[in-house]
Structure 1
Amino acid sequence: MTEHIEPRQMETDDLTKVWSVTEFCARHRIDTEEQALLLKLFGPFATASELIHNAKRAPRFR
């Protein structure tokens, strides 16, 4: 079953939530080098969308 959703009804709170860069890196297993780059780029705080699109993470299988 499908349901039509108007764009106005969607909430974008999850992507616009402001995170501490260090907390985000700890929760998403991002190494210290990448964390330093994110801190340089954004400072101590950034939105979840910015962090997700700019963070690189090593594969889990290695």
Structure 2
Amino acid sequence: MERVEPADVEHDALTKVWSVTEFCTRHRIDGKEEKRLLQLFGVFATASELLHNARREPRFR
């Protein structure tokens, strides 16, 4: 085991603020789900919020 100090952990990736529309485009999220996320968060949200709240339809072969 190794002890990790909180100051040594980078939080930049999950606390980065995204445009909800840009996030949906990059992650191939449909318009209906994009509308739901916009109602939930507004125009901007953190990556963590978007990743934990976005629903995607499964892509079958």
How far apart are 1:4 and its partner, in Å?
4.7
How far apart are 1:33 and its partner, in Å?
0.3
Q: Deviations over 1:26-57 (max 9, x none)?
A: 00010100000000011100000000010001
Answer yes or no: is 1:57 the counterpart of 2:56. yes
Aligned to 1:21: 20
Answer yes or no: is 1:7 the counterpart of 2:10. no
RMSD: 1.5
How many residues are matched? 61
Whole-angstrom distance in 2 between the partners of 1:53 and 1:40: 15
The SS at the match of 2:58 is coil
TM-score (norm: length of structure 1): 0.87
Whole-angstrom distance in 2 between the partners of 1:56 and 1:7: 31
Q: Matched residues, percent identical?
A: 69
Where does the alignment leave 5 or more consecutive residues of structure 2 unmatched?
Answer: none
